[in-house]
Each structure stands twice: as C-alpha cells, then as structure tokens.
A and B are shown apart, each in its own frame.
Chain A
Amino acid sequence: MGAYVLRRLWQMIPTLAGVMLLIFVLFNWVGGDPALVLAGKITNKDQIENIRKQLGVDQPAYVQLGYFAFEVATGFTCTWKSYTDKAEPPKLDAKTPGSAADSATKAKANSGCQAVRSWATNEEVPKILTTRITPTLTIMIPVLILETLLGVILAIGVAYARGTLTDRMIMMICTVAMSVSFLVYIIVAQYIFGFQLGWFPVQGWSDSFWKNITYYAPLPIALAVFVGLAPALRLYRSFFLDEINNEYVRTARAKGVPEKTVMMKHVLRNAMIPILTNIGIALPGIFVGSFLLETFFSIPGLGREILVAVNRSDFPVIKAATVYLAMVTMIINLLVDVLYKAVDPRVTFK
C-alpha cells in the first residue's frame, strides 16, 4: 500500500512535467509573444522591449521554462526574478494601472519573493485562486452530493423496473432533457424564479457562508443538480443493468434471495465500483465549478475568474489555475484509486 502510493506519486512527476510543458508551449509559443499580449495596444518599441525583459521572454526557451518551473515549484508565490534580483517588483501597469495595487505589495517588496501577479489587476495569483475557491466549493460540493445520491436512488428504481413503460418514459425524458442546452435552463430559470416569481435572488453573493448557502446558492445548486441528473441517471442505470446480467445475480436468485435484496445488496454493491470511478472522474471538475452558473449568478468563484482571465488574456491566472488544478486532479485520482480497495476486493496494489 505504502509502496503503491509512493510509486504513484513517482509516476506523477512525468505527468506534471508534461502539463507544464503543454502550458508553456501553449502560452509562450502558440499564444504569440506574451509581451505583445500584455502590451495590448501599446506600440512603442522600447516599452515593449521593457515588458519583454520584465517577463523574461527575451531569454532562450529553456531559461523561460526554468522560470516557469520555479514558479510552479513555489506554488506561484515567488517569481525567479524577484528571488534572484531581490529588486523592485516589475510594475505591470500596462493594462489597468494601479487598479489593485495594494499597500501590502510594497511591504513585501523587500522580502525578496514576489508572487506571480495578474496582468489585468496586478493581484497576486495564489491569492486570487485561494479566495475564489470557497464560493465554487460552496456550490459544487452540495451539487456533487445531491446529484450522486439522487442519481443512484433513481437509477436503482429505474433499473428495477427495467423494460417497463415507466422505465422507457423516464429514459426518453432524460434524453430530451439532456438535449436542451444548459444555457437555456439557466436563462429561463433565472428569468422565471428570479425575475418573475422572485423566489430566489437573481444574482449575488455575500461574505457569510450561511447566507450564501441559504439565500444565494439554492437556485444555482438546484439548476446544476437538475441538469446533471439526467445524464447521471442514464449512466448509473446502465451500470446497474450491466451488473444485473452477471451470473452471480442468477446464483443469488437460485439461492432464493428476494428480488429487492438482489438489487439492494448484490447488485448495488458491485455497481458502486463503476459509480465510484465516475465520481472520481467528475471530482476534479468541482474545483473549476460551473463557470456558467458563476457568471450568470455573479458568484465570485474560480470558474468565473478563469473565464474573465480568458476574456482578458490574463495568462498568469490561467497558467497557474491550470497547473494547480492538474495537481489537484492527480491527487484526487490517487485517492480514488486507493479508495477502490474499500469497494472492490479484487483490486491489488502492485
């Protein structure tokens, strides 16, 4: 077990290196000259040259990759330049000068380490990410729990009634429900329940967790669960049906096990294995959250932040978010694989 976890952690290194390489290639080459992206409408050659120097993109590619690796290693809390120069932090005021230049920045200037900053707001990137994650998780954790519970319960019911008219009707409704764009659901629900009926606030967020979860979050959560339920139900139903066709189910019946027990004990226990896999795949996604919901309901979450960054070509934020989330994904995958052992006795850690 210990050896297995160690080996898995060891195997993460090349994957993480690959993620960094992919991001580096994308943002430093494919995306065009980062300096030009940052400079925006500035055309003054000297100014651009200056920005280029500050960003380090005048250096050869491997040096730039080294800078990036250093940033990743410090969790984006320290840039290579600030670490080596102990100089003034680069004034990246090209786009929105001084919009978020807080006093803390100056205080930290002398400590040597300067965190990577957003091009757009000059905010420290690690801070952006850590503050935005709470609203996202406030929405997504209840969504994941509700969706899984409801999905499994309904799927058992539907699988139990397999082949009947009810089953076929529910599957039909699911297919149709899945074909309507998430956008349409949000637009319509926000209009009806927010604007028209006024049952829920149209949008907004507060600093109080309690107020958020009871006042602002219910509509987005309900929407996400509603939209996620149809595909989950379809998928989980197929897991149950796969299990029902196994021979051990016939053995259970031959033993005289009642049909309900067959379903709730023998089948459910086995179907938990693919269901857990599926949750494992979905789990990293909760950190990105539903950027659509966050945008529509003005929830200051990570998804919205990333979307804003994409619209502003705010590369440091996107890069950091991608690396962070890739690491989170890998850790979650490992945890899920370890959890497997609890569900599936056939799993051996080799």
Chain B
Amino acid sequence: MFLKLVWLIPALPLLSAAILGIFGRPLRWSERTISWIACGSVFLSLVITAGVFVQYRAAHWPEPYLTSEAGGFPHSFVWVPGGDAELSLGPRAGQRATFRAEWSYQVDPLSMVMMVVVTLVGFLIHVFAIGYMRGDGGFYRFFAELNLFMFMMLTLVMGSNFLMLFVGWEGVGLCSYLLIGYWFHRADAKAASMKAFIVNRIGDFGFLLAMIAVFSLFGTLQFTEVMRLAADEAYLPTEAFGMFGMASWIALGLFIGATGKSAQIPLYVWLPDAMAGPTPVSALIHAATMVTAGVYMLTRTNVIFMKSPTMMFVVAVIGAATLILAAVIAFAQTDIKKVLAYSTISQLGYMFLACGVGAFTAGIFHLFTHAFFKALLFLGAGSIIIALHHKQDMREMGGLKSYMPVTYWTFVIAWLAICGIFPLAGFVSKDEILWRAFTTEVIPGGRWFWFIGLVGVALTAFYMTRLMALTFWGSPRFVPSTQAHGLSDEPAPHEEPRESPKVMTLPLIALAVGTAVAGFVGWPPALGGSHRFERWLNPVLYRRATNAEAMAHHGATEYILMVVSTLLAAMVMAAAYHLYIHRKQTLQAIVEAIRPLYIASARKFWVDEFYESVFVRGLTLGFSRVFWRTDTRVVDGAVNGSAWFTRFSSRLSGWSDLFIVDMIVNAIGFGLRVFSVAFRAAQTGFTQNYALVITFGLLIATAAYFIWGS
C-alpha cells in the first residue's frame, strides 16, 4: 500500500510550499497555522517513508522498486518525450536512440537511506525552526522555502534518472540560494547567497557535461539502464590506474558537480559564507542533506567511478585534502557557525575519502550518522544563538553549561560523536572509513590516506573541544544584557540566557537519541555486529563485498586501529580541555609561537582573497593588460608606420590627383549631371511611389515568367 504512495513523499512538501507561498501572506495566517501545515506535510512524508521502508524491505529488496513499472499519472509519467538522437561515444556510436525522460521514482537501498535521512532530520529541523523563527516577519516565506527545499531534495534522491537528479540538484541550489539570502536586507546574506549560487554553477556545469556524455554513451538517462550498461566490461572497459579514458572523463564531470554541491576543494568557499542564513537552514541544507548530495551522486554512479581508478584516486586526494584544510581553518574561527561549517566541510571530506577508496557504503554510512550529529550541533548552536539574542561570536560566550542544561547535554553527545568516541554514531562510521582506507585495494596509497584521516581525527577533536570550551565551559564572557541594550532599540532582553522552549529542545533530544543509536545500524563485525548497513546497500554497488570477505578482513589490525584513533581523539580532547580551561597562558604562548599559522588559519588561508584576485580580478585585469600591450606595441606601431607611408604616398598621389584624377572626376561629374536629369525626376521622395515601382516590376517579372518561363 505504501509503495503506491511513494509519489506523495515529495508531493506533500511541494503542496505545502505552494499553499504557504500563495496564501501565507494574503490570508495572514498565524504562526501556529503555518507551522502545522509545514511540519504536518513533512511528518506525513516521514510516515509514508517509514511505511515504504518496511514494505520495500519485506517485498522488494534487493531489487529496486521503480514507479515507472506501475505506470500512469500521478505515479509516473513521460516527462520529456524527445526525438531521436545519434549516439556519439562508445561502442554504439552512430546508432540512434530515442531521448526519453520520465518522471518516476526509484526506491532502492540507497535512495531509501537518503529518504529516511531527509524526511527524519528534515522533520526535526522543521519543528526546531518553529521556535527559532518565532516572531520573524517572513515566517510563512521561510517555511514555504524550507518545504520547497524538502521537495527538491526528495526529488534529487528519489529520481530514477539523471535528469530528475539534475532537477533536484538545481532545485536544492535554488532553495539554498533563497534561504541563505532569507534575510535579504543584510548585505552579507545577499552576497553569500549569490556566492553560493555562482560557485555551485561551476560545479553544475561539470555535472551537465557529464550527463550529456552519459546520454551520448549509453543512449538513456535511466539509472538502472545506465548502471546495467556501465557494468558491462565490453561497453565501458575498466581502466588501469593512471589512464584517463571514457569512464574517467564522465567521472570527472560528475565529480566536479559533486565538489560544487558538497563543498570540496576547490569549490568549498561558498559553504562558510552560507552561514549567513538562519540556523535551521544551516542545519538542514548546509549540514545534513543538500551538501551530501555529492556523496549520494558518487554512490549512485559508483559503477562509472569504479571503472576509473584514476578518478577514484583524485576523489580520495581531494577528500583528504579538504578534510585537513577545513579542519585547520576551523581552529581559529570565532563565529560558532563558521566553526561548524568548516567542520561540515571536513566531514564531507571524510565521505569523499571513503568514496575514493572504494568504500561507498562507508561514505553513505558516515553521511547517515553525520546527518544526525551535525544537525544536532547546528541546532544546539541555534539554541545558543537564540538564547544570546543572535550573538554568534564565541568570544562573547562561555559558561553556558549551567544556563542551558538540555542544550548542553545534547551538545555533549554530538561532540563526543563527532570526535569519534565509543560507542556513538561518529565512532562507528569514522572508524569504518579509516579501516576501509587502510585496507583499500582500489587505489594505491591506502595507508597514507588512513594516516591523513587519523590526523583529521585529532584535528576534529581539538577544534570541537575548543568550541565546547569557549561556549559551555569556563566563565561567562557575554556582556550582561542590562548594560548592553542601552543603545539598541530592541525590547529589554532577559538578564541572563535561559533554556530554549520545548519546541526547540525536543528536536535536540530526538537528534541526540538518533546520534547515540545511529551507529548500531552499521555496527562493525569486529565488535560483534553484522555489517547490516553494508549488506543493505550491496545491491546498488558495482563491486560488492561478500559477507565472508567483510568478515575475514577484521582481525587484530582492526582493533589496533580502532584503539589508536579513539585514544588519539580522547587524548587530544583532554589536552584541549586542559589548555582552554586551566592553562590559558600556555595556550597563549603556543598561539604566539605559531602566530603566522594561526593568522593563516583565521584568515582561511586567503583562499577567498586568492579567488578574488586570480579569477575575479586577475583574469580580467590580466587580459586587459595584455590587450593594452598589444594595443601600444603592435597596433600603434602599425598605425605609425602606416602614417609615414601615407605621408609618402600622399605626396605621390597629390600629383597624380591634380592632373589625372581630377580630370576624370570632372568628366564623370559632368556626364552624371547630364544623365541625372531624368533620374532626379524619378526620385520623388514619396515612399509609395517607390512601392508602386516595385509592384510594377513584380508585375513585369511575373508576366515574363508566365509568358516565357514555362
């Protein structure tokens, strides 16, 4: 029954978005009505998703359930009935294929995971947003856009072909743009939204090219078809490491798209700026769901990626580089949301690292757990920001532990999870990635990637502990509000921050529970689990790990690696706690000692400035300078040379002019004057006369054709 309702999962948020967007303002609905509509639609989607999950698991797994098989509107319909096109790549080059894209949904293990994440986390964040956005003038607009985002994201993960994925891809980009620029009267929000949009466009360009290549190669955009054909060794041969063939080019295009959407080097710069949007938006779009779309796409097209070890290596390198760079930048940020944004980039780097070493399940699993704990971190940050009346600077926080107990304890769970402390979600998924990197056979250099991941663990533990220390521990540094509000015209705030209302804390608690238990979904066999998550995702993967293989891997090495990473994280956490709470002087000394590095981190390694100067200014200015040089040297020289030549030749021609040309000209002029008498009469200046002559000529020509032509 629920499988027949699959189409409702994205449709309900869309309906709600339309209702809120159209009627929200003219009918002056109360915030209560708007919240019921917005959250109710997402909740219904969540319920249907749960039902679909149960039914799919019981009846269809491991085969995908495609709504196109059921047929008929509204279940699915032919969306773009195209004409014939000639394939230009691969073994079928020159053959004709009909371009046909349908609007149908695909429920398979991968999209099921994504649907659960999107609807569950999305619902909790919707509830949280009721409290966060209370009293905002654009309440209806916020929820309409948030619901639209849910629709687009669900289209992205549920679409059965590349074109639907692309529509969702662009749609979430649009909603991201709208929601980052939600407070459009703020200049930074405006700039950030445009930056996000433009940077994403660069990635989308790559994705679009890859999609065109996919159609030119396979003649279809349907995932099941493409993956079936791509798995065929004769159709898309596996490339050796270092080769860059067909599969690599397609994978490159897809990966460029993924770096844009998932904020990887070199296109990560938009994500920190995107924190200008409201915090629920940061939690939903820029932490839990949208930015993971790149990982989803890589896993969806894992067949193509697995055929190209070169691109897998590139993916792993980019992922590793991103996770280190973002973590280092997070060290010195003072804005609480910026720290979390760089943390998100870093964790996305982990996911890409997992994809790059061929452990797509580990990447998706980290996506799954990360959605919980990062959403929890962001919502906790949102709770703090509300309590401190929209102050985000961590230097003005501290000691919030006693004021906001619920926020504090949920935040602690998320903190432990992201640092990878046993047995929380982050520990399981991160160790899975590290272990798979250590043992990878897809690309060379697995142990180096493991080492980078381990360094990343230490860095993560440090900056997250710093975040905890600066916000919750220590002594309060926020200015007592009674003195501060003298200048502002806001109503007098309460003297001290207090815990957020239930509507905000309940989602925090729910997410904290999720963070605590999400890891058990994919509990590793080394600890007595059964790789349930990996077995669940196996049907969508190209190179499947058999159960025996997975079980055989673990041994003493795995336990050692686990202990190493956990101990490392714990030690770094302890050290950071010590430094920030008890040894401030030591901390100061360290910062003084590595001052250049500290400044570089605080200034984000000048990447924004670099892009600004190289791409925005540099290329434009450089080109103009080149053109200027050309102008002065080449063009001016030619002009001057020709001037000299002109002077020379003019003297010559002056003579000939006077004696030869003038005579001819005068003769012609005289002749013309004689002739022109008749023609001048014809030149009446009366337009219709000319038209009459044209008609007459037409008449003559037609008559001539009739008489002699045939």
- On whether the two chains bind one another, the answer is no
- A interface residues, Cβ below 8 angstroms from B: none
- B interface residues, Cβ below 8 angstroms from A: none
